[in-house]
Amino acid sequence: MLRIKHFLIPALLLTMSACANNREAAGELSLAPVPYSITVPTEIAKHLSVENMELDTANEFSAQAKQAGAIAQVFINYTADDGSIHGFAGVYYFAKSDFDQAQNPNEPPLYGSKVVEKSGMVLAIAGPQDSIFEPTSQDGKNSMALYTLIYDPKSFKSS
């Protein structure tokens, strides 16, 4: 029995550490002033930055969103491997009633698609229509993975 313990415990520890090393490390990106963060693989997180849209007073669309009831709005930017910065997605935080009122059923959603609805509030995402990167490049792969994550409610955590 003692031999089994000496063999079994190291084998289990080795198995658990191998599983842990195979998991893709995740990073959390705060979307402040939107009260959420998004969890993305660390490899993608290092390419991302968040810009508060309301600080750009010349942005008419941001002013329009605020007038429609947006409580907070940010833009997720992606920095490519070549150093160029690309706008990736708009993130909007609304009271549900204001978000619903801002929608026109005959047009695409002006402030994105509802991804999370909680306690009478809506987190909406307006992501890209197409990738601007070559799909086989690392930036293209990151972009496709990020596109999937921004529309997955499980990617978001309220702060």
- pLDDT (0 to 100) of residue 114: 97
Global pTM exceeds 0.85? no
Judged against a pLDDT cut of 50, whether residue 13 lies above it is answered with no
Average pLDDT (55-79) is 95
105-141 per-position pLDDT tens digit:
899 889 999 999 999 999 999 999 888 899 999 999 9
Q: CA-CA distance, 125 to 81, in Å (whole number)?
A: 24
Residue 41 in contact with residue 66, Cβ under 8 Å? Answer: no
Mean residue pLDDT across the chain: 87
Q: CA-CA distance, 43 to 93, in Å (whole number)?
A: 26
DSSP string, 36-103: EEEEEEHHHHTTEEEEEGGG-TT-HHHHHHHHTT-SEEEEEEEE-TTS-EEEEEEEEEEEHHHHHHH-
- pLDDT (0 to 100) of residue 26: 86
Average pLDDT (40-66) is 94
Judged against a pLDDT cut of 80, whether residue 11 lies above it is answered with no
